[in-house]
Amino acid sequence: MRGTFTHLRRLLLASVICALGAAALTYLVDPLQLFRPSRLAIYSDDTRVQNAGLIRSQSFDTAFMGTSLAIHFRQSDIDRTLGVHSLKLAMTGSNSRQQGFVLEQAIDRGARRVIWEMDDFIFVDAANIEADPFLSADLYRRTTKGIASYLFSAAMAKESLFALLRSVPPLREPLTRAAPYLPVKFALADVDDIYALPRDFDVARGYNAKRTLAAFAYITSPVRSRFLGEGYGYEVMVRHFERDAVGLITRHPDVTFDIYFPPYSILQFVAMRDAAPEALKIVTDLTAVIAQRLTQLPNVRLYDFRAIEAVTHDLDNYSDVIHHSPVVDAKVLEWLASGEYRVDPSKPLASLDELKAQIEAYRVPPVNQP
């Protein structure tokens, strides 16, 4: 019996030593750069985690926020076109609670300007940020719980070991080449590459009318069309807009907010028109409230890119009914730089009315045509 207890104590001691060793490795390498900028800096496409480190380790004056419609922008392009020093914090599938929380952290760290891609669906009901299983508020706040979860994470220890091995000159090149095929998340050497398309990406192959029309046919199929209206609730969405967007903006009157409605393809709205008209009414009613509310706030410049027919009706600009190509990304930055398509506070619903007319008049081309 004594031998059993001795083995158990040794096992527990070994476990504690391993855990402390892993924590020490993570602290020293700090792959997230939560404590300090690192000479071994590598980055991850897991933006909900990575953003916590970026806010702490990067120098910036502008925060760029959005969903998957803003995820492929490069910081270097934002900086060059807008003359800012930006930090891209866009998160795929993110909701207004997550976006508002992350932006608050960025503003607290010095952002004086926010560029915010704002689409209607971010205001659907979502978990309280404290209970959000996909974003750790404690990690961003660097509470004891957040730091402990970081230091004693087996996944972070693995990432730290990979970063350490990749810092060894003979291993750097082969491990960099192998990184995309290894079970590691932190594999990007340049912050500009976080969730950006490869520079040699074939845009014409990834974005074209054939793909866009196929996506339209898929989402409007009778067996799937009910999902077009899933999650939409007018009163809830207005409440979340007031809390997460207006609340953040009014708490920071010294910060300039450039907010834009992204240039969905016309087919997104036509799909709702044909298969989920109740959801379309919620979208238009909600964005009317947003436009009227935001244009009255002195530190907001609102842009609406949804009715630019030359872009939104050209289906070659899209990979599905909402996600636009890097060519349109560049146009968005140019419009923001020039002030084009800014919503006039004296006529906040003009662009929405134009969009409504386009939705009503549009006729879908046959799917088999380019």
Instruction: Tell which residue, 285, 236, 270, has the closest CA to residue 95.
Output: 236
- DSSP symbols for 53-93: HHHHH---SEEEE-STTSTT--HHHHHHHHT--EEE---TT
Q: Which amino acid, residue 208?
A: N
CA atoms of 158 and 179, how far apart (whole Å): 13
CA atoms of 156 and 30, how far apart (whole Å): 9
- Render pLDDT for 230-252 as a digit per residue (tens, 0 to 9): 889 999 999 999 999 999 999 99
Tokens of 333: 């930055």
Q: State the distance between the two ends of the chain, measured CA to CA, in whole angstroms.
A: 78
Dihedral sign (CA 61, 65, 71, 72): negative
CA atoms of 11 and 19, how far apart (whole Å): 12
User: 76-111 burial, b if ≥16 CB within 10 A, otherwise e?
Assistant: ebbbebbebebbbbbbeebbbbbbbbbbbbbbeeeb
Percent of the chain with pLDDT over 70: 97
Instruction: Tell which residue, 324, 223, 310, has the closest CA to residue 268.
Output: 324
Per residue of the chain (370 residues), what is the pLDDT tens digit?
Answer: 556 667 677 777 777 788 888 889 999 999 999 998 887 788 999 999 999 999 999 999 999 999 999 999 999 999 999 999 999 999 999 999 999 999 999 999 999 999 999 999 999 999 899 999 999 999 999 999 999 999 999 999 999 999 888 888 888 888 888 887 888 899 898 999 999 999 999 999 999 999 999 999 999 998 888 888 888 999 999 999 999 999 999 999 999 999 999 999 999 999 999 999 999 999 999 999 999 999 999 999 999 999 999 999 999 999 999 999 999 999 999 999 999 999 999 999 999 999 999 999 999 987 654 4
Q: What is the pLDDT of residue 1?
A: 52
Instruction: Evaluate whether 130 touches 140 at the Cβ level (below 8 Å).
Output: no
Instruction: Evaluate whether 297 touches 246 at the Cβ level (below 8 Å).
Output: yes
Model confidence, pTM: 0.92
